[in-house]
Structure 1
Amino acid sequence: MCPSCRVLDMSHPVIKQTRANPRAVLGVLTERIMTSLPCPVTNNVLKHGNVGANVSACVFLSGKASMKHSGSTQTDSDVSLGIPANTVMAYSLIELYVKCNGKFELCLICNNGGFEIDRSKEGLEVDGFMDLGGDFDTNSPLNLNKELEKLSSHFQLLSVLPADTRSSLLQLLKTTMEDREAVSVLESVLDQMCDGETPDLGDLEESERETVQAILDLVDQCVGKEEDEIRSSLLSAVHLIVSAMDGMTDEGLSVLGSCCSPPVLQALQILVQHVAAGSGETLSLRDAGLAILTEEELYQRTERLFALSNVELTRLNEDAEFTVTSVICPGHLPLVMSIAVNGLACLG
């Protein structure tokens, strides 16, 4: 790093390795708590027990043992741990948001760090999230409606699939969401397939391999193995959802996974449409399609999902009225959440 101009060497091996992981973040260590001297930690455990027969053998214990005339036993064992001097016990750091040119910013709010998306790869960005158009800039406020409009053909393709196929796909994706690593693996495999490559499924865990194969079987049932163009489009549509899921925060993905029943997804889709419109219109939970959110736990879950995606739901009164406001700030979180919700709702 150049001290005077605050620029990182993007060719450094550590930077390259960190950047290769979509969720890896660089940080600056700001403080730490260390031991100044060797610190012994001792745990003394005293156990009591009863003996129901005469003891005729001698047992060696790692500690002290005694027996009373009543037949009860008492054991005393010590466990010691030595912590060397200069051992870090706790620390705090500030995340960095690193731009492609090596310049960086300090993030005072956690989970905002990472690397600027490099658009040098045609069709895909380096963090695994699909390229949504040539003018998408993660450092500028989004025109959410415009970005979603570009993807409408993908959503339309998913919505016209047979009902049983949509239901099976939704269940597969819901199950995959329970494991963040499985989402990333599925995204990588679909990424390769959409690029015309043949991924090596033998390297996958059995459950991951079964999920990939189940998705391929469902696609083949719908279009047949000979209809390559339609098959490719359908795989791209599924990849779009999985890629958006992979772009969400861990907590956001977990909350979304708990909202994957069709009625809830339909309600979330209505909210996403209002966010994209950007009108700040007042909505009511009595509106058609939103009534399911009158259940307080579901509303709280929905509010949390949107908050994790930089979108605010503001309750106006106790009459179930609220507004949906997109927080204007750089980042892709509102977009990936909207894509995931729209895609899953089309399968519901």
Structure 2
Amino acid sequence: MFAIATKNFVKEVDDGGLLIPVSSLNDNMELLTVVVKHKRSRFWQKPKYLPTDFTLNDLLTGDSPITPTVLDIDFIKYSGTYGGGMEGSVDASFAKVNLNVKGEDSSKLQSSFGSLKKDEVDVPKLMRESKGRVLDMSHSLIQQTKEKQKNVFAIVKERIVTTQPCSVIEVVQQRGLLVGSQVPCLPKVSKILLTENGKLSKDSNVTMEIPPHTTIAYGIIELEIKNDGQFELCVMSGGGFEVDGHSKTSLLCASAPMNNVIQQELEKLKDHFQQLSTLPASTRSSLLHHITGLMQEPAAVCALQNVLDRMCLGKKPSLDNDGLKESQQQSIQAILEVLEQSGAEEPTQSPVLTALHLVVSALEELPDDCLPVLSVCCNPATLQTLELLVQCVSGTREASLSSTALPDDDYEKTGHIFASCNVSLQRDSDVLRVEIKHEPGNYPLILCIAIKSLASLACGC
């Protein structure tokens, strides 16, 4: 809840800017707190920011701490309500089983942060005071961070702070109807009772009280660190550790038409899509079911991504997120069990784990308002149509309406999914045309990767 509320706040007040939402109430985001910026393995992934328990002064040699001048500025008074409703139905026929499931979900998240202030370091003065200072390169945090080349040190230069007690409230309503006949055996679903011609309903109302002086967002300035511990504050460019006598530099991809970039990247990833599509049908079905369930809430997808990140680094998977619902924790655990059964935990970089990591990485990068709608479309027929649209985005730019065969309600959902990722769909007579908008970011590519991955899990189901 808190992570979603702060993410919504940053999107409203600084979309595309420099503010970073705080993801946990346990993060102690004081000014000059050291933050590790972790650059991800794929260029289209946003970096992750990992706050530490140390400040810049903890890492300096010498006894005199840096005492920066802090500007205390009234920011804004903020209150936001985010909600959405979603309806869906699934008809399925199996041997001796006929099911018709209809559902209607609605949720609302209300964030009342009240009056906010901004604490901001006087950066020019900080640069003067830090000139000539040296970092203790033997410090354990520096040693552990330096080992991983994609890590960069940064410090908090500004933060947005609450000034009064405030709250985050989440209200969820779920309604469902199941009509069935001859149902001798169904997959186990914890804490949900399904009966013939039965109804299912569940409401929840959760309030989180936020104390004053809580940081909800922050800005950073990166450090460029030399081998002898000397460092500079990078006001304009990115930072990093010195390697072989040279400072790290960021490599920028050459400008190219987005559809060409998409085509090239999908070609590079085709082995991963193939790996997913060749999994046993029961494995693919289970993974798709649990992943689409998690797509209802971005925080749940992020939690799964964190678990898979640990596994890819050779660490034991652990789920430590009290903000997740019990059903979400169960879904993540079920995914881990499927991976274990397919031998994905050893060796660490198994093809199955790598391919699944790709799916979740793409989903995590999608806009929050795209994920729940995409989850409703995760049935084989609709995903097959979405794959055709991916071909349009990456190449042909148009397709016949007869080949897409989208009903009006599915066309509306599909239009929303693509529009949220800067791609417009336009009907023209019997042709559906696709246009990529010239907006910052890689949303069109990320959406295409997500659709291809989900379609690979759904093929043949």
TM-score normalised by the shorter chain: which range applies?
A: 0.5 to 0.7
Q: Following the alignment from structure 2 to structure 1, what is the Cα–Cα distance between the partners of residues 36 and 274?
A: 38
Question: Which position in structure 2 is the counterpart of 1:322?
Answer: 432
Question: Which position in structure 1 is the counterpart of 2:400?
Answer: 284
1:148 to 259, 266, 272: 266
User: Relative to structure 1, is the Cα distance of residues 16 and 265 closer, same or farther in structure 2, using a 3 angstrom cutoff?
Assistant: same
Q: Work out whether 1:171 is the aligned partner of 2:289.
A: yes
User: Relative to structure 1, is the Cα distance of residues 203 and 298 closer, same or farther in structure 2, using a 3 angstrom cutoff?
Assistant: closer
Instruction: Flag the structure with larger Rg.
Output: 1
User: Relative to structure 1, is the Cα distance of residues 323 and 119 closer, same or farther in structure 2, using a 3 angstrom cutoff?
Assistant: farther
Letter in 2 for 1:268: L
User: Relative to structure 1, is the Cα distance of residues 241 and 275 closer, same or farther in structure 2, using a 3 angstrom cutoff?
Assistant: same
Letter in 1 for 2:419: A
Q: Percent identity between the aligned chains?
A: 36
SS of the equivalent of 1:172 reads: helix
**Structure 2: any 5+ residue segments left out of the alignment?**
1-16, 21-29, 38-46, 51-72, 79-113, 116-162, 165-217, 223-233, 242-249
1:216 to 314, 323, 336: 336
Letter in 1 for 2:451: V
Question: Which position in structure 1 is the counterpart of 2:108?
Answer: none
TM-score by length of 1: 0.59
Q: Is the 8 A contact 1:138 1:330 kept in 2?
A: no
Letter in 2 for 1:168: S
Deviations 1:222-266 (A, max 9, x none): 3486x636x722111111111111101110112211211111011
Question: Which position in structure 2 is the counterpart of 1:43?
Answer: none
Q: Is the 8 A contact 1:141 1:328 kept in 2?
A: no
Q: Following the alignment from structure 1 to structure 2, what is the Cα–Cα distance between the partners of residues 245 and 298?
A: 20
Question: Which position in structure 1 is the counterpart of 2:454?
Answer: 344
TM-score by length of 2: 0.45
1:251 to 369, 372, 381: 369
Q: Is the 8 A contact 1:314 1:324 kept in 2?
A: yes
**Structure 1: any 5+ residue segments left out of the alignment?**
1-6, 23-27, 34-82, 89-95, 104-115, 122-133
Q: Which has the higher contact order (CA 8 A, sep 6+)?
A: 1
User: Relative to structure 1, is the Cα distance of residues 315 and 234 closer, same or farther in structure 2, using a 3 angstrom cutoff?
Assistant: same
User: Relative to structure 1, is the Cα distance of residues 30 and 220 closer, same or farther in structure 2, using a 3 angstrom cutoff?
Assistant: closer
Q: Is the 8 A contact 2:303 2:319 kept in 1?
A: no
How many residues are aligned here?
245
User: Relative to structure 1, is the Cα distance of residues 306 and 162 closer, same or farther in structure 2, using a 3 angstrom cutoff?
Assistant: same
Q: Following the alignment from structure 2 to structure 1, what is the Cα–Cα distance between the partners of residues 423 and 74?
A: 30
User: Relative to structure 1, is the Cα distance of residues 119 and 330 closer, same or farther in structure 2, using a 3 angstrom cutoff?
Assistant: farther
Letter in 1 for 2:339: V
Q: Following the alignment from structure 2 to structure 1, what is the Cα–Cα distance between the partners of residues 455 and 252?
A: 24
Deviations 1:58-97 (A, max 9, x none): xxxxxxxxxxxxxxxxxxxxxxxxx99xx99xxxxxxx99
Q: Work out whether 1:271 is the aligned partner of 2:381.
A: no
Q: CA deviation at 1:339?
A: 1.1
